[in-house]
Structure 1
Amino acid sequence: MTTDDTYPTLDLALRVGELLLSSGAGAADVSVQMQNVCIACGLRGVSASVTFTELQLTHQESPDEPGMIQVRDVRQREIDYEDLTLVDWLVRDLVAGAIDRDEARNRLAQIVSSGHERSRKVVTLAWGIMGLGVGLLLGAKPIVAAAAFVGAIGIDLIQRYLARRRLPTFYQQVAGGLFATLLAVLVIATHLSEHPSRIVSAGIILLLAGVSYMGAVQDALTGFPLTAAARCMEATLATAGVIAGVSGGLTVATALGIKLVNLTPGASAYPPWPEMALGGAISAGAFAFASYAPYRALLPAALLGMMSATSFIALYRAGLGVSWPSAVAATCVGLVSYTIAARVKVPTLLLVVTGVVPLLPGLSVYRGLAHLSADDPSGLVELINASVIFLALAGGVIFGEYIAQPLRREGRRLEQRLSGPRLVGPLTVRSVRRRKRTKV
């Protein structure tokens, strides 16, 4: 391959990696997919380096020639599962030989430049519905759940406004935490509820970076400690912003003479399993919708959220603690997601993340950092417990996928043996590719 062909190939691979990483994909997946793009375009011997904010590809044609290096910065943005799905299928088509490099570049440019058919107002409403589902997961009463619904919508509008003003994420989190706390103050002042802890907890749950923490643990497990540390640092800073916002709201309440009795921000309790199942389905499905997941993936996402919440609460009620039920539920999500993703034609990551959303211990992280900021050593215990849960979730999901891969492969072989000859079309796509390679 000539130099004129090498640079466009590396550029395409970097652009694919940038979109995958900014959409929430793990560093290991990004590295492999960039190499797959290069190999599909006829460029072998490429070395990929992935960090939290930078991607690098290196290719050396021969030991006697200098290596070619291309670097691309990654700009973090909101999770976009529609773009993630489109890029996933672009890479699949490129690897299968259905499109060439130039067509792949054109399709990628269309993905990046095109907007969404889903209205932003509808997405904001979906965040509110997710807040309602989270309220059910916390055992909230109707008034508290309604406050969580309103709070989630208000937080999304505030953060969108501040993002357009290019304010850093930390200050957006401060504003969100302040709004959630002032909403709780308003509800208490009007005597609509006497549970300020649940109101604040349900309000701030959407601000807590549980998905980022789980992604950090996944990167650590798959051999990318630098990226894991960067993601963990970003998530911790975002949580610190929430703490500052809640503290500011409590200060305003004190100045107004409103006493929030028995307020423990971050406090939660597990409700009966029907509420857990309903809350898990609503929160997972709404999160998938708000993250621009394809419509065909919404029902599977909701069912996975229901499954994870139900299995968790069943094992928790059996006296197994929190970490082991989380690990078992995450393993089930990983096992089922791998099979369903192929059926609905979406990346497995989409279903995995939405399936474990009801189990993310964002409130534990909040409590831990809040206690440490108040010189309470019990905060360290909370953080350790949260870390164990994140490890259980990430490890369980990855283990479930490891189990699912050989099961699916053996299932294909059994199907081939039992299905008999096809009257129309090939038996499998692989057989067609194998014959094509043989002819070449």
Structure 2
Amino acid sequence: MTSLEPREVNLTIDLCLRIGEVLLSSGAGAADVTATMQSVARHLGLRHPDLDVTFTNLTMSFQAAPEEQPVSHTRLIKHRDIDYEDLTQVDHLVRDLLADRVDLREARARLARLVSSGHPTARWKVTLGWGVMCGAVGVQFGGSLLVVVLAFLAAVTIDRLQLRMARRRLPAFYRQVAGGAIATVIAVAAAAADLPVDTSLVVTANIVMLLAGVGFMGALQDALTGFYVTAGARITEAMLATAGIIAGVSGGLSFADAIGVDVGRLDPGAVDVKSAGLMALGGAVCAAAFGYATYAPRRSLAPIGVVAGVAMLISQAISSQGFRGPWSVAISALFVGLVSWTLSGRLRVPPLVIVVPAVVPQLPGLSIYRGLSLLAEDGGRAATSEGLLAIITAASVAIALASGVILGEYIAQPLEREARKLESRLAGPRLVGPLRAKRRPSAAPVGEVGETREPG
């Protein structure tokens, strides 16, 4: 620890901060980022560094001895686009570093190439992925073919516009306003053309990609793991993004009134789907398309869709037995957490790459939107009460999703270790096959990169 030269200490801290930056900006939780940085620092000789992970910056300090000068570095988090390809590659890099397949300087060079290079997937294909996702939401809610087509076209338009706005460095709030306005204007255009389509369903299917449900669940995960400052910042971001959608939808409705188009009572999220199979199909395609749009490795897309579809069926089956609301969602999330741990080892991806897309179809973003929009209306006590009820429902569903997934991960880890021990005891004598399976490297979850496990 004390034998490290100051240059080596600085390079090690800088590498840890850069790894943490990629993980945090790609969607990893604060607890996972902290554990990963600690593992890398400990492996490279820095014992017990002080880490501070917040929503906007990372700070790492190290003091070799009380009589020596401490070293402290800070790195700002500048972007927040979910990128599961970078997340997976950094996870592989950390595993290679901890296994001594690369040294400090090789790891720094590899990380620099990773963050400076683009993606092999063309950006227009990502736009199509968002379109497919929103079309699948229309299928999930029982929409007609016309709803699916309108949802696809609106999602493509929203993504291209937001991309242009992002390149001009406009804040995310204004991008959300523009997205909500486009979704509503397309519904207004459909109503003006007298198309046989439910305008509420069109808006519902088109604003899912804008909703803050993912950020809201991530905030609750940080809160459950003790990172309350980061959780509060993520909740604020989620609420602000949702407020932008409300402003955009309100502007679209004002435009409809100005041109004399009656769109009826726009009630996003107020849909009643009775076909569990249709919901499972739409949820599976939605999850896989979300994974594709966030650059998840191609090998993980089909498993993500299957897990999401089965989770949706579990939720609907439990709801039909009377366990409605958070309990049905929590049990389906528990299933996702259990399965993702095993699948991540086989697919060589972090469990987060499977978990988040798989729970996207069940996220409470629409309830958040519905509650805030009702609170913003001047509808008296009835509307206020309904809005508060929607907010409480959304919070309970988000807590159920986050706690179910985390509990599933906690249960899966010791179960898999005990299963491997039992398999070793019962492995022989065998008449066919090897006595002991050969170990091979597999993907460790972000935050537990130091553990080696055998998939399956």
Q: Same fold (TM over 0.5)?
A: yes
Deviates more, 1:305-314 or 1:221-230: 305-314
Aligned runs of 1:249-260 on 2, under 5 Å?
249-260=252-263
Corresponding position: 1:33 with 2:36: yes
Deviates more, 1:92-101 or 1:7-16: 92-101
**Residue from 164, 178, 187 that aligns with 1:175:** 178
Per the TM alignment, residue 415 of structure 1 is displaced from its structure 2 partner at its CA by 2.6
Task: Please name the residue that 2:106 is paired with.
Answer: 103
Per the TM alignment, residue 65 of structure 1 is displaced from its structure 2 partner at its CA by 2.1
Task: Please name the residue that 2:413 is paired with.
Answer: 405
Task: Please name the residue that 1:60 is paired with.
Answer: 63
Per the TM alignment, residue 100 of structure 1 is displaced from its structure 2 partner at its CA by 0.8
Corresponding position: 1:318 with 2:326: no
Per the TM alignment, residue 348 of structure 1 is displaced from its structure 2 partner at its CA by 0.4
- 1:307-362 Cα offsets, whole Å, 9 max, x none, are 11111111122221121010000000000000000000000001000110110011
What TM-score does the superposition give when structure 2 sets the normalisation length? 0.92
Alpha-carbon distance in 1 for matches of 2:316, 2:195: 29
Match of 1:342, SS state, is helix
Aligned runs of 1:58-207 on 2, under 5 Å?
58-207=61-210
Task: Please name the residue that 1:352 is paired with.
Answer: 355
Contact 2:14 2:73 in 1 (8 A): yes
Alpha-carbon distance in 2 for matches of 1:427, 1:344: 17
* Unaligned runs of at least 5 residues, structure 2: 442-456
Match of 2:59, SS state, is strand
Contact 1:285 1:354 in 2 (8 A): yes
State the AA in 1 paired with 2:305.
A
- 1:239-278 Cα offsets, whole Å, 9 max, x none, are 0000000000000000110011232233222340110110
Contact 1:49 1:56 in 2 (8 A): yes
Q: 1:426 to 1:331 in 2, by over 3 A?
A: closer
Per the TM alignment, residue 194 of structure 1 is displaced from its structure 2 partner at its CA by 4.2
**Residue from 225, 238, 259 that aligns with 1:235:** 238
Deviates more, 1:406-415 or 1:266-275: 266-275
Q: 1:44 to 1:91 in 2, by over 3 A?
A: same
Aligned runs of 1:263-282 on 2, under 5 Å?
263-282=266-285
Structure (1/2) with the larger helix percentage: 1
**Residue from 217, 228, 242 that aligns with 1:225:** 228
Task: Please name the residue that 2:400 is paired with.
Answer: 392
Contact 1:138 1:271 in 2 (8 A): no
Corresponding position: 1:300 with 2:306: no
Match of 2:426, SS state, is helix
Corresponding position: 1:416 with 2:424: yes
Q: 1:329 to 1:424 in 2, by over 3 A?
A: closer
Per the TM alignment, residue 385 of structure 1 is displaced from its structure 2 partner at its CA by 0.7
Contact 1:372 1:380 in 2 (8 A): yes
State the AA in 2 paired with 1:96.
A
Task: Please name the residue that 1:438 is paired with.
Answer: none
Corresponding position: 1:363 with 2:371: no
State the AA in 2 paired with 1:392.
A
Alpha-carbon distance in 2 for matches of 1:426, 1:7: 41
State the AA in 2 paired with 1:406.
P
Per the TM alignment, residue 126 of structure 1 is displaced from its structure 2 partner at its CA by 0.8
What TM-score does the superposition give when structure 1 sets the normalisation length? 0.95
* Unaligned runs of at least 5 residues, structure 1: 431-440
- 1:355-402 Cα offsets, whole Å, 9 max, x none, are 101100110000111011114312111111100000000000000011
Contact 1:280 1:308 in 2 (8 A): no
Alpha-carbon distance in 2 for matches of 1:174, 1:379: 21
Alpha-carbon distance in 1 for matches of 2:348, 2:438: 19
Match of 1:419, SS state, is coil
Alpha-carbon distance in 2 for matches of 1:71, 1:110: 21
Contact 2:427 2:435 in 1 (8 A): no
